[in-house]
A and B are shown apart, each in its own frame.
Chain A
Amino acid sequence: GEQVEQRPPHLSVREGDSAVITCTYTDPNSYYFFWYKQEPGASLQLLMKVFSSTEINEGQGFTVLLNKKDKRLSLNLTAAHPGDSAAYFCAVSAGTQVVGQLTFGSGTRLQVYA
Protein backbone atom coordinates (compact mmCIF):
# COMPACT_ATOMS: atom_id res chain seq x y z
CA GLY A 1 0.00 0.00 0.00
CA GLU A 2 0.84 3.66 -0.04
CA GLN A 3 3.75 4.78 2.13
CA VAL A 4 4.29 8.42 3.02
CA GLU A 5 7.48 9.67 4.59
CA GLN A 6 7.54 13.16 6.04
CA ARG A 7 10.64 15.15 6.96
CA PRO A 8 11.81 16.71 9.19
CA PRO A 9 10.02 15.49 12.32
CA HIS A 10 10.92 18.68 14.14
CA LEU A 11 11.72 22.12 12.81
CA SER A 12 12.62 25.32 14.62
CA VAL A 13 12.93 28.60 12.72
CA ARG A 14 13.24 32.25 13.58
CA GLU A 15 10.33 34.56 12.91
CA GLY A 16 10.51 35.84 9.34
CA ASP A 17 12.49 32.88 8.06
CA SER A 18 11.09 30.25 5.75
CA ALA A 19 10.25 26.70 6.76
CA VAL A 20 10.12 23.77 4.36
CA ILE A 21 8.43 20.45 5.06
CA THR A 22 8.66 17.60 2.58
CA CYS A 23 6.73 14.40 2.00
CA THR A 24 7.59 11.60 -0.37
CA TYR A 25 5.06 8.99 -1.38
CA THR A 26 5.27 5.65 -3.15
CA ASP A 27 2.10 5.12 -5.16
CA PRO A 28 2.47 6.70 -8.63
CA ASN A 29 -1.34 6.67 -8.93
CA SER A 30 -1.69 9.14 -6.08
CA TYR A 31 -3.82 12.01 -7.23
CA TYR A 32 -4.96 14.11 -4.31
CA PHE A 33 -2.70 15.64 -1.73
CA PHE A 34 -3.54 17.47 1.46
CA TRP A 35 -1.76 19.56 4.05
CA TYR A 36 -3.30 19.78 7.50
CA LYS A 37 -2.30 21.96 10.43
CA GLN A 38 -2.81 20.79 14.00
CA GLU A 39 -2.34 23.23 16.85
CA PRO A 40 -1.60 21.77 20.29
CA GLY A 41 -4.61 19.97 21.70
CA ALA A 42 -6.70 20.76 18.66
CA SER A 43 -8.03 18.92 15.65
CA LEU A 44 -6.69 18.96 12.12
CA GLN A 45 -7.48 21.96 9.98
CA LEU A 46 -7.14 21.79 6.22
CA LEU A 47 -4.47 24.10 4.85
CA MET A 48 -4.64 23.15 1.23
CA LYS A 49 -5.85 20.45 -1.12
CA VAL A 50 -3.72 19.86 -4.19
CA PHE A 51 -4.57 18.04 -7.36
CA SER A 52 -1.94 16.15 -9.26
CA SER A 53 -2.43 18.34 -12.31
CA THR A 54 -1.13 21.47 -10.58
CA GLU A 55 2.47 21.74 -9.57
CA ILE A 56 2.50 25.00 -7.69
CA ASN A 57 -0.23 26.09 -5.35
CA GLU A 58 -0.13 29.27 -3.33
CA GLY A 59 -1.98 29.93 -0.12
CA GLN A 60 -1.98 32.61 2.54
CA GLY A 61 1.71 32.82 3.47
CA PHE A 62 2.70 29.46 2.07
CA THR A 63 3.37 27.58 -1.15
CA VAL A 64 2.79 23.93 -1.91
CA LEU A 65 4.92 22.29 -4.56
CA LEU A 66 4.18 18.94 -6.17
CA ASN A 67 6.80 17.01 -8.10
CA LYS A 68 5.10 13.94 -9.54
CA LYS A 69 8.25 12.66 -11.18
CA ASP A 70 10.02 12.43 -7.83
CA LYS A 71 6.77 11.71 -5.94
CA ARG A 72 7.47 14.59 -3.62
CA LEU A 73 5.19 17.13 -2.00
CA SER A 74 6.47 20.11 -0.09
CA LEU A 75 5.03 22.87 2.05
CA ASN A 76 6.99 26.10 2.16
CA LEU A 77 5.96 28.62 4.79
CA THR A 78 7.36 31.95 3.73
CA ALA A 79 8.19 34.46 6.46
CA ALA A 80 7.04 32.23 9.32
CA HIS A 81 5.47 33.86 12.37
CA PRO A 82 4.74 32.49 15.86
CA GLY A 83 1.16 31.71 14.90
CA ASP A 84 2.51 29.11 12.49
CA SER A 85 3.83 27.05 15.39
CA ALA A 86 1.95 23.76 15.13
CA ALA A 87 2.18 20.24 13.78
CA TYR A 88 1.81 19.85 10.05
CA PHE A 89 0.72 16.67 8.32
CA CYS A 90 0.66 15.74 4.70
CA ALA A 91 -1.88 13.21 3.49
CA VAL A 92 -2.15 11.40 0.20
CA SER A 93 -5.14 9.85 -1.50
CA ALA A 94 -4.49 7.44 -4.31
CA GLY A 95 -6.97 6.70 -7.05
CA THR A 96 -6.35 3.02 -6.61
CA GLN A 97 -7.37 3.04 -2.98
CA VAL A 98 -10.84 2.22 -1.83
CA VAL A 99 -13.00 5.10 -0.68
CA GLY A 100 -11.27 8.34 0.24
CA GLN A 101 -8.70 6.66 2.37
CA LEU A 102 -5.89 8.99 3.30
CA THR A 103 -2.37 7.94 4.13
CA PHE A 104 -0.78 10.41 6.51
CA GLY A 105 2.79 11.38 7.04
CA SER A 106 4.10 11.18 10.58
CA GLY A 107 4.02 14.94 11.02
CA THR A 108 6.39 17.86 11.48
CA ARG A 109 6.39 19.85 14.72
CA LEU A 110 7.21 23.43 13.78
CA GLN A 111 8.33 25.98 16.34
CA VAL A 112 8.68 29.61 15.30
CA TYR A 113 10.55 31.77 17.77
CA ALA A 114 10.88 35.54 17.93
Chain B
Amino acid sequence: EAAVTQSPRSKVAVTGGKVTLSCHQTNNHDYMYWYRQDTGHGLRLIHYSYVADSTEKGDIPDGYKASRPSQENFSLILELASLSQTAVYFCASSENRGGDTQYFGPGTRLLVL
Protein backbone atom coordinates (compact mmCIF):
# COMPACT_ATOMS: atom_id res chain seq x y z
CA GLU B 1 0.00 0.00 0.00
CA ALA B 2 1.41 3.35 -1.11
CA ALA B 3 2.77 5.29 1.82
CA VAL B 4 3.17 8.64 0.03
CA THR B 5 0.35 9.74 -2.20
CA GLN B 6 -0.06 12.89 -4.26
CA SER B 7 -3.00 14.64 -5.83
CA PRO B 8 -3.71 15.48 -8.49
CA ARG B 9 -1.55 13.18 -10.58
CA SER B 10 -1.64 15.64 -13.44
CA LYS B 11 -2.89 19.14 -13.93
CA VAL B 12 -3.15 21.77 -16.60
CA ALA B 13 -3.10 25.33 -15.28
CA VAL B 14 -3.25 28.76 -16.86
CA THR B 15 -0.56 31.35 -16.44
CA GLY B 16 -1.32 33.56 -13.45
CA GLY B 17 -3.67 31.05 -11.88
CA LYS B 18 -3.33 29.46 -8.47
CA VAL B 19 -2.29 25.82 -8.19
CA THR B 20 -2.25 23.65 -5.09
CA LEU B 21 -0.52 20.29 -5.05
CA SER B 22 -1.23 17.96 -2.17
CA CYS B 23 0.79 15.24 -0.52
CA HIS B 24 -0.27 12.72 2.10
CA GLN B 25 1.95 10.22 3.90
CA THR B 26 1.14 7.32 6.18
CA ASN B 27 4.74 6.61 7.16
CA ASN B 28 4.44 8.56 10.39
CA HIS B 29 7.49 10.51 9.27
CA ASP B 30 8.36 13.91 10.64
CA TYR B 31 10.10 15.19 7.52
CA MET B 32 8.42 15.97 4.23
CA TYR B 33 9.82 17.47 1.05
CA TRP B 34 8.74 18.95 -2.25
CA TYR B 35 10.97 18.53 -5.30
CA ARG B 36 10.59 19.47 -8.90
CA GLN B 37 11.98 17.50 -11.79
CA ASP B 38 12.47 19.05 -15.19
CA THR B 39 12.65 16.88 -18.26
CA GLY B 40 16.01 15.17 -18.45
CA HIS B 41 17.20 16.47 -15.10
CA GLY B 42 17.50 15.44 -11.50
CA LEU B 43 15.36 16.61 -8.61
CA ARG B 44 15.69 19.98 -6.93
CA LEU B 45 14.37 20.79 -3.47
CA ILE B 46 11.72 23.50 -3.26
CA HIS B 47 10.48 23.40 0.34
CA TYR B 48 10.63 21.00 3.25
CA SER B 49 9.13 20.64 6.69
CA TYR B 50 10.10 18.80 9.83
CA VAL B 51 7.09 19.59 11.98
CA ALA B 52 3.47 20.52 11.49
CA ASP B 53 2.73 24.22 11.02
CA SER B 54 6.29 24.95 9.98
CA THR B 55 8.00 24.96 6.58
CA GLU B 56 11.50 25.77 5.38
CA LYS B 57 12.90 26.96 2.08
CA GLY B 58 14.92 24.60 -0.05
CA ASP B 59 17.19 25.41 -2.96
CA ILE B 60 14.60 26.89 -5.34
CA PRO B 61 11.72 28.35 -3.28
CA ASP B 62 10.96 31.40 -5.42
CA GLY B 63 7.40 31.34 -6.75
CA TYR B 64 6.30 28.59 -4.36
CA LYS B 65 4.74 28.43 -0.94
CA ALA B 66 4.28 25.40 1.26
CA SER B 67 1.87 24.44 4.00
CA ARG B 68 2.10 21.65 6.57
CA PRO B 69 -1.22 21.59 8.45
CA SER B 70 -0.56 18.18 10.01
CA GLN B 71 2.16 15.55 10.19
CA GLU B 72 0.52 13.62 7.36
CA ASN B 73 -0.17 16.44 4.90
CA PHE B 74 2.10 18.79 3.01
CA SER B 75 0.95 21.11 0.23
CA LEU B 76 2.78 23.07 -2.40
CA ILE B 77 1.13 26.27 -3.58
CA LEU B 78 1.81 28.22 -6.73
CA GLU B 79 0.04 31.55 -6.18
CA LEU B 80 0.70 32.85 -9.69
CA ALA B 81 1.61 29.95 -11.94
CA SER B 82 4.13 30.67 -14.68
CA LEU B 83 5.25 28.80 -17.78
CA SER B 84 8.61 28.07 -16.15
CA GLN B 85 6.86 26.06 -13.44
CA THR B 86 5.87 23.34 -15.89
CA ALA B 87 7.52 20.26 -14.42
CA VAL B 88 6.90 17.06 -12.51
CA TYR B 89 6.60 17.58 -8.78
CA PHE B 90 7.52 14.92 -6.27
CA CYS B 91 6.71 14.78 -2.61
CA ALA B 92 8.84 12.70 -0.25
CA SER B 93 8.99 11.85 3.41
CA SER B 94 11.70 10.64 5.75
CA GLU B 95 11.80 9.62 9.36
CA ASN B 96 14.52 11.95 10.41
CA ARG B 97 17.26 14.17 9.13
CA GLY B 98 20.71 13.32 7.96
CA GLY B 99 21.02 10.06 6.13
CA ASP B 100 17.51 8.74 6.44
CA THR B 101 16.05 7.39 3.25
CA GLN B 102 13.48 9.55 1.56
CA TYR B 103 10.41 7.80 0.18
CA PHE B 104 8.81 9.39 -2.83
CA GLY B 105 5.27 9.78 -4.00
CA PRO B 106 4.17 9.02 -7.58
CA GLY B 107 4.60 12.59 -8.77
CA THR B 108 2.31 15.27 -10.19
CA ARG B 109 2.76 16.35 -13.78
CA LEU B 110 1.99 20.06 -14.05
CA LEU B 111 1.59 21.85 -17.35
CA VAL B 112 1.21 25.61 -17.25
CA LEU B 113 -0.14 27.17 -20.43
Binding site for B on A (CB under 8 A): 1, 4, 6, 9, 31-32, 34, 36, 42-46, 49, 51, 89, 91, 93, 95, 98-102, 104-107
Contacts and interface: CB of A to CB of B under 8 A. Distances in A.
B61 interface: no
A91 B100 CA distance: 12
B104 A93 contact: no
Interface stretch (B11-19, B38-46, B70-78): B38-46
Q: Is the interface of B mostly helix, strand, loop or mixed?
A: loop
Interface residues of B, number: 26
A99 B106 contact: no
A17 B42 CA distance: 26
B31 interface: yes
Given A106-B40, A106-B41, 13 more contacts: A32-B99, A36-B104, A42-B106, A43-B90, A43-B106, A44-B90, A45-B104, A49-B99, A91-B42, A95-B98, A100-B99, A104-B43, A105-B42
